[in-house]
Amino acid sequence: MGDIKKVRLGSEVFFESLPSWFSAKRIGLLSNQASVDSSFCHVGDLIQAAGGNLRCLFSPQHGFGAEKQANMHESSDGWSVGLRVPIFSLYGAVRQPTAQMLQEIDVLLVDLQDVGTRVYTYGITMGLCLEMASQVGVQVIVMDRPNPIGGINIEGNLLDQECRSFVGRYRVPMRHGLTMGELARLIVEEAKLDCDLRIISMEGWQRSHLFPDTGLPWVYPSPNMPTWESSLLYPGMVLFEGTNISEGRGTSLPFQLFGAPFLRQVDLQTKLAGSGLDGVVLRPVTFEPVFDKWRATTCYGFQIHITDPRRFRPFQLGLLLLQALYRTHPEEFRWLPPPYEYETEKLPIDIIIGKRGITQILEEGGDIGDLESAWSTDLEMYWEYCQRFFLYAG
């Protein structure tokens, strides 16, 4: 690979050349504990060290410290002892800042590490902030960060309107190929927002970059993203949240493990033989989650080893695994019922996939390739459409 030239984050570009208004305007910050520069300095500390008037923090799902687990583990408003400002939770009593909250600031800075997947709620929280900011006249500045799973490969169906939810608000595919800054630009156009939006672009990032190519340290953005490989697996393995199969939560390898007490490893391996999976190896393992599904119960399953991250297609893997599990374990496999992420009626798997009817195709043994072909035209149109929002080449 040779020497890796370190990418400069949007926050690093911003603080190198501060705008003239910086010390005069009241600043809000949407961030969490992973909002640090390449020297591990938190952007909130950088704002105050540079003389900025930081008035409040906004925290996304999992809390400002990324301490809360997923799916309805809400966080409350709080107080930052270090920064001496209030923290408004956007995953608790509200999921969108109120007009009153935003009236306390002039500018909202956004610095969140996304993982390039539609159902990861940080992009949705940013979008909800943009929607409210456009109503009350607050400027939004997104300090951009890498899409850790790259800006070239995209996968999955576009979100159907009937499956819109807190894990799917904007019409993008599961693996959307955008940075947070690019996604913000798309949201402003799609939602027809009259928003004063500015993006502070990174320097040195290319669309072909996977996270190891950036030279940046990985700081986990949420409790189940301990490594960048977790983020690469996430577009497919997040589907397991809609099933009774453990996706590895409650272990040290979330999204890298899957299994259940009833899973017959040999049967699943036999079913998957010849499926043409690229860039990945499944290794049989046994594990015991300490929380979440199958807590304190021995599970039989697999660890997913990525052997070629550029060829690996995580969403395809997720679909293939779900189909194989349903076909080999029809008596034990289940699609979980609601509630899930504030949705009380629709099946979790439907709002995660973002389209109804896919589960029936999987159950009936439909060809995954045909399924992908069915939405290929939509993907091509999406890719052509979203290029107007691109900030980076390569």
Mention every residue, 6+ apart, whose C-beta is less than 8 A from residue 391.
144, 179, 181, 182, 185, 199, 201
Domain spans of the chain, in order of start? 10-217, 228-363
At 154-188, the pLDDT tens digits run 999 999 999 999 999 999 999 999 999 999 999 99
| Burial (CB count <10 Å: 0-12, 13-18, 19+), residue 247 | buried
Read off the pLDDT band of 333 (50, 70, 90).
Answer: very high
Average pLDDT of the residues in 213-224: 98
Q: What is the pLDDT of residue 293?
A: 97
User: Considering the chain, what percentage of its residues have pLDDT values greater than 70?
Assistant: 99
Q: What is the pLDDT of residue 87?
A: 98
C-alpha pair distances (Å), 60 with each of 139, 324, 387, 393: 19, 35, 27, 29
Query: Following DSSP, what letter does each residue of 195-255 receive, concatenated?
Result: --EEEE--BS--TT--GGGG-PPP--SSTT--SHHHHHHHHHHGGGGGBSSB-STTSSSTT
Q: What is the pLDDT of residue 274?
A: 86
Cα(39)–Cα(371) distance, rounded to whole angstroms?
A: 44
DSSP class of residue 379 equals H
Q: Which two tokens stand for residue 157?
A: 């169906």
CB 151 within 8 A of CB 181: no
Longest alpha-carbon distance in the chain: 65
Query: Following DSSP, what letter does each residue of 108-175 receive, concatenated?
Result: EEE-----SBTTSTHHHHHHHHHHHHHHHT-EEEEE----TT-SS--BSPPPPGGG-BTTB-SS--SB
The fourth-level CATH superfamily of domain 10-217 is Uncharacterised protein PF07075, DUF1343 (3.40.50.12170)
Helix/strand/coil for 343: strand
Does pLDDT of 1 surpass 60? no
Which residue is associated with the tokens 């709620």? 121
Calculate helix-pair angle for 314-328, 228-237, nearest 10 degrees: 50
At 134-156, the pLDDT tens digits run 999 999 999 999 999 999 999 99
Read off the pLDDT band of 3 (50, 70, 90).
Answer: low
Average pLDDT value over all residues in the chain:
97
Mention every residue, 6+ apart, whose C-beta is less than 8 A from residue 59.
30, 31, 32, 75, 87, 88, 89, 90, 91
CATH assignment, 228-363: 3.90.1150.140
At 354-365, the pLDDT tens digits run 999 999 999 999
Q: Which two tokens stand for residue 176?
A: 């959307």
Cis ω before 217 (30° cut-off from 0): no
Average pLDDT of the residues in 33-52: 98
Cα(124)–Cα(184) distance, rounded to whole angstroms?
A: 10
Does pLDDT of 2 surpass 90? no
At 255-291, the pLDDT tens digits run 999 999 999 999 999 999 988 889 999 999 999 999 9
At 73-123, the pLDDT tens digits run 999 999 999 999 999 999 999 999 999 999 999 999 999 999 999 999 999
Q: Which two tokens stand for residue 167?
A: 């894990």
